[in-house]
Structure 1
Amino acid sequence: MFIRPVSMEEGRRLQQISRTAKDPVKLRRTIVVMMSAQGQSVPDITSLMQVSADYVRDVIHAFNEREFEALDPKWSGGRPRTISSEVREHICLIARTSPADWRITAFSTWSLTKLAEHLVKQSIVPAVGRETLRRILREGKVSWQSTTTWKSSNDPDFIAKMHRVLALYDTPSADGRVVCVDEFGPLNLMPRKGKAWRPRRSPRRLRATYNRYDGVMHMLAALDLATGKLYYRIRPRKRWREFLVLLKALRACWPGEKLYVVLDNFSPHKHANVRAWAAANVELVLLPTYGSWLNWTESEFAALRYFALNGTDHCSHHEQNTAIAAYMHWHNAQSGPKTSFAPDSPIRTWTEYPAKAA
């Protein structure tokens, strides 16, 4: 038994498939067809390929009937699902509820085991395993997440203030410079959790206990949006006096430009002496109440905490301040203009403050 005569073009195609096929089944079928086309008998092919004679005959018959389509394996879909799509959607809905919704007061959240037991008890399914339940939830885009909190703003001018800040971020004034100011801290001398590449099951360990015999420090920092550079100073306190000194230092950096200082509602920022000095020197752009997330400096502080402080246990403020200074030097050397603040965020379309903004 042999395959039908193969043209030159078909022979080249078979040869190409034998070189490029990644599926072992397709490759094996192609080799059987090529060997048969070269005049080798079924017993010879069986001996060389270590397959049964019935397999060789089936491949030859299939190629004669369906040509190259016969080379592609037709995988079956496996055992049909025993849990229908409707039941799977119902399971995902139940998983998103609280046990209290079902008058279960013994626990406040579902584990996979408890959820499976509840589904069986409610006759949703006759039986379901933990892994099956895990796959159903994953396919339904239901994941295990931490509970978050939110805090609403009571500022009646929230939208107006927010759009004022966003306008400065998007199109800075031609006659001035936008600077975001905030405080970071307190800077304690304490072991800080962090992450690092380590051998498996061998995490770096830090002491768990500490004291504050050396007191705490505070950082006052400013982010220049035009360059992306951070200007900072670390002081024992963060009163209006320290804040005013920072403002005067910023004013001295750009003497010929108007400064728009974006800042939150921390009481030293609104001190009478600060306001009196700012009236003739800078424009204070206050964020909405509980709207500190609009301050661009917050993201820079998150990076500072992650890269310079997390995973450390400094022995002195001098040592910790030196580490912060090294990070700041690196940051400013890599910095560039800050643009595109939350361009795709829903806040861009807010016309009134939503009930749950966070």
Structure 2
Amino acid sequence: MCPLVAGAGVSRRSPFVVVLSDTDRVVLEASVAGYTAPFWLVQRARIVLLAADGVMNVDIAQRLGVDVDTVCKWRKRFVAEGLAGLKDRPRSGRPRRFPAEVVAGVKAMACQPPAARQVADPLPWSRWSSAELAAQAVAEGLAVSVSASTVRRWLAEDAIRPWRHRSWIFPRDPDFAAKAARVLDLYERIWDDSPLGADEFVISADEKSQLQALSRCHPELAAGPGRVRRVEFEYERHGTLAYFGAYDVHRAQLIGRVAPKTGIVPFAELAEQVMTTEPYASAKRVFWIVDNGSSHNGQASVDRMRTAWPTATLVHLPVHASWLNQIEIVFSVLQRKVIKPVDFADLDALAARLTAFEPRYNAAARPFNWRFTRADLDDLIQRIDAHRAAPLLIPSSAVAA
């Protein structure tokens, strides 16, 4: 029952007097006026606001269409605990059907490839599904029965998704750390432990090859209410071309050109295009960061660049480290905003689109917020070394075979 006390012989008032601070009132009024707050919170906020205005519990109950005991409950909670008292108490919920050991066992199974299970009949799968995990748990005696949906819920709670995989590769360049470090230094405007001057520039360059000019057999259908943009599946091929790009990482300026194919000659033409353009033509030094593609590979490419342009220095990335080349980010933007979905009448149309991209990009571009530093590189090297030192886990069945 709601505790009441006599008030001046005419009415019965609650002993729990609600006094609101300015902050509490703002929060409660916002809950009542908002459109996204749950109904239970709005109702409790109204009870407290009316109580703070001196309205008695019986009158609050009549106004809001609730029981008097409900009003008493939330008035008392607020007086004792403030805004936090308007929230629901923690509830235990339905008791767990499966012991923690069963849940942990299924999750551990999901973290292993199926072939690693030591069972009489080797599993032929490359990865698990929820149904297969449930069946295997029963087969191995982890549970008498368990559904695929239950297993799926367990994995979702722990963010374990055994049906997904991600490719990766160990760096095989013996000078990976040294080569990567000098590139990261250049991004910080440092070379040989000395800061670069105002007349020294860093260019990130590469080529995007095999760009196809595909024309769709039927016109695309524009997006409409409840319908995404549709692109015809069938197409006609009109050949390929390559796009060479040189990106100034500190000025966020792109210089590019289209060529029939990749090779030493078109890369040399890109170098000429850049090195004869200001401010690079009169620069003290221009550092060119490139990967190990055939157009600019090995010491021969370094010598060619130095001979043709004495102020240019070609800096090679480690093998399989194009992810350290900022031009790849530009190419990603180009791929998403210019090329996809591929639908060009011919090579000339594709070339025109690529050429038109450059001034548009340069007008709004800002230098990338590059965050991978030498400290991150050191951490990466340590983790790679730890993986190299770890023993290779081979299923016992494979060893026996």
Quote the offset at 1:315 in angstroms: 1.0
Quote the offset at 1:332 in angstroms: 0.6
Quote the offset at 1:235 in angstroms: 0.9
TM-superposition CA deviations, 1:179-224 (whole Å, max 9, x none): 11101121111269x9x9665465513233433xx43211111011
Matched, 1:275 2:303: yes
1:349 to 375, 379, 386: 379
The separation in 2 between residues aligned to 1:131 and 1:305, in whole angstroms, is: 39
Higher relative contact order (CA 8 A, sep 6+): 1
Paired letter, 2:92: G
The separation in 1 between residues aligned to 2:352 and 2:200, in whole angstroms, is: 32
Paired letter, 2:231: R
- Matched-pair contact (CA < 8 Å) for 2:290–2:314: yes
Equivalent residues, number: 347
Matched, 1:83 2:98: yes
The separation in 2 between residues aligned to 1:65 and 1:276, in whole angstroms, is: 81
Matched, 1:317 2:347: yes
Secondary structure of 1:243 counterpart: helix
Alignment match, 2:132: 114
The separation in 1 between residues aligned to 2:86 and 2:382, in whole angstroms, is: 63
Quote the offset at 1:2 in angstroms: 6.7
1:263 to 290, 315, 326: 290
Paired letter, 1:269: H
List aligned pairs for 1:182-331, cutoff 5 A. Answer: 182-190=206-214, 199-200=225-226, 204-211=230-237, 214-253=238-277, 254-257=280-283, 258-270=285-297, 272=300, 275-279=303-307, 280-331=310-361
Secondary structure of 1:268 counterpart: helix
Paired letter, 2:175: D
Alignment match, 1:167: 185
Paired letter, 2:271: L
Normalising by structure 2, report the TM-score.
0.72
Quote the offset at 1:238 in angstroms: 2.2
List aligned pairs for 1:91-130, cutoff 5 A. Answer: 91-102=106-117, 103=119, 104-130=122-148
Quote the offset at 1:252 in angstroms: 1.1
- Matched-pair contact (CA < 8 Å) for 1:32–1:59: no
Secondary structure of 2:204 counterpart: strand
- Matched-pair contact (CA < 8 Å) for 1:179–1:223: yes
The separation in 2 between residues aligned to 1:65 and 1:149, in whole angstroms, is: 55
Quote the offset at 1:322 in angstroms: 2.2
Identity of aligned residues (%): 24
Query: Which structure 1 residue ranges, 5 or more long, are not aligned?
Result: none
The 1:189–1:33 alpha-carbon spacing in structure 2 relative to 1, beyond 3 Å, is same
The 1:325–1:46 alpha-carbon spacing in structure 2 relative to 1, beyond 3 Å, is same
Paired letter, 1:90: G
Secondary structure of 2:236 counterpart: coil
The 1:277–1:246 alpha-carbon spacing in structure 2 relative to 1, beyond 3 Å, is same
Greater Cα offset, 249-258 or 135-144: 135-144
Alignment match, 2:153: 135
Normalising by structure 1, report the TM-score.
0.79
RMSD over aligned Cα, in angstroms?
A: 4.0
Quote the offset at 1:351 in angstroms: 5.2
